[in-house]
């Protein structure tokens, strides 16, 4: 199989629930499940949210400020997580939710960022990322075309390598809201790599997106959907994630190998076995003029093809034929 091209991003997000050990094991799981990149979210409560900020409807069990505070890692822990990821041969990616988070990730030497859906209009954050010589993915989940156009234009004018991901910020995202048509529009509109961040409950949309030529596919990974937190219920468990990556690679192999329909060499033996030839429907004598009733069409396909039967009609036989015996053009008058 040719070299795999699609980046498969395991979004760990906040599934670790502040446990460094959980985060380390999730990185290992991502590798075991076929991911090429691990993605986290870098939250610094004091820098990104007020204490009274409301929680999203899908996770209101804990104050947002307190949740980010409790589940945050230190800079040294982030450095260790990045090193563990790279030691396994995976890429390390994180979403910064503040200018301070960008600085932290820069300090540990990350090579790529992802702009979260809610940060696309955070102009100071975009300007800070645009001047970095890094890969920057833009998540489109909460933005209209005007907001996306502005964000893409800003980043493309900088020194970063820009990509954009179709995303629908619903948890979970129903199939009718996935928006594959937007992937096609993004490709023609921006001329940059386009990915797909999948928030559906199943693996099918991610696999199907391969047929649209996406450069990257992102999907949440968890130990169990029953875990506490904002991400787990809308993530894939390891067996699901592994099935998804296998499906992506299989479909990637399919779509990257076009077939020449005019090349029948590989089917030569099958054609001989399954196609039909022209044979005598009954015993025929020399001089008989052939009608359709005199012909039968049977396997194997090693004689004159049934497709040519009209060229036999009305012509006389130069040789007698037994029932089921092949009839060839040289058996007919006028073919010397």
Q: List every span in the chain annotated with CATH 3.20.20.70.
A: 7-255
User: Is-contact 159 128, C-beta < 8 A?
Assistant: no
Each residue's pLDDT tens digit, 280-325: 999 999 999 999 999 999 999 999 999 999 999 999 999 999 999 9
| pLDDT score, position 232 | 85
Topology of the domain comprising 265-331:
Type Iii Antifreeze Protein Isoform Hplc 12 (3.90.1210)
| pLDDT score, position 4 | 65
CATH number of 7-255: 3.20.20.70
Q: List every span in the chain annotated with CATH 3.90.1210.10.
A: 265-331
Each residue's pLDDT tens digit, 175-210: 999 999 999 999 999 999 999 999 999 999 999 999
Q: What is the mean pLDDT of the segment spanning 158-177?
A: 96
| pLDDT score, position 336 | 55
Each residue's pLDDT tens digit, 64-113: 899 999 999 999 999 999 999 999 999 999 999 999 999 999 999 999 99
Closest Cα partner for 91 from 33, 30, 143, 43?
Answer: 30
Each residue's pLDDT tens digit, 40-50: 999 999 999 99
pLDDT at 33 over 50: yes
* Spatial separation of the C-alpha atoms in residues 313 and 291, rounded to whole Å: 5
**Other residues' Cβ atoms within 10 Å of the Cβ of residue 292:** 11
- For residue 29, the surrounding DSSP H or E stretch is helix 20-32
| pLDDT score, position 334 | 83
Q: 26-30, 62-66, 73-77, 148-152 — which is least confidently predicted?
A: 62-66
């Amino acid at each position: 199989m040719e070299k795999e091209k699609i980046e498969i991003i395991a979004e760990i997000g906040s599934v670790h629930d502040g446990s460094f050990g959980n985060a380390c094991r999730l990185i290992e799981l991502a590798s075991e499940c076929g991911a090429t990149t691990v993605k986290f979210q870098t939250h610094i409560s004091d820098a990104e949210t007020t204490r009274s900020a409301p929680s999203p409807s899908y996770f209101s069990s804990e104050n947002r400020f307190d949740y980010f505070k409790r589940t945050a890692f230190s800079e040294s822990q982030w450095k260790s997580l990045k090193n563990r990821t790279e030691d396994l041969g995976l890429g390390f990616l994180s979403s910064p939710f503040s200018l301070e988070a960008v600085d932290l990730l820069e300090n540990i030497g990350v090579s790529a960022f992802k702009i979260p859906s809610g940060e696309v209009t955070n102009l100071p954050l975009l300007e800070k990322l645009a001047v970095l010589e890094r890969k920057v993915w833009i998540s489109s989940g909460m933005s209209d075309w005007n907001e996306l156009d502005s964000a893409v234009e800003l980043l493309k004018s900088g020194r970063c390598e820009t990509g954009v991901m179709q995303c629908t910020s619903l948890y979970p995202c129903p199939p009718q809201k996935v928006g594959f048509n937007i992937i096609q529009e993004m490709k023609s509109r921006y001329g940059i790599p386009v990915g797909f961040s999948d928030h559906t409950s199943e693996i099918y949309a991610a696999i199907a997106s391969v047929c649209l030529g996406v450069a990257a596919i992102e999907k949440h990974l968890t130990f169990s959907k029953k875990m506490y937190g904002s991400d787990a219920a809308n993530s894939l468990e390891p067996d699901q994630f592994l099935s998804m990556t296998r499906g992506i690679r299989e479909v990637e192999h399919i779509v990257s190998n076009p077939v020449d329909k005019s090349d029948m060499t590989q089917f030569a033996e099958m054609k001989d076995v399954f196609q039909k030839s022209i044979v005598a429907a009954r015993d025929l004598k020399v001089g008989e003029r052939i009608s359709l009733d005199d012909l039968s069409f049977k396997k194997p396909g090693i004689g004159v093809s049934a497709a040519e039967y009209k060229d036999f009609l009305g012509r006389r036989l130069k040789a007698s034929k037994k029932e089921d015996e092949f009839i060839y053009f040289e058996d007919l008058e006028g073919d010397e």
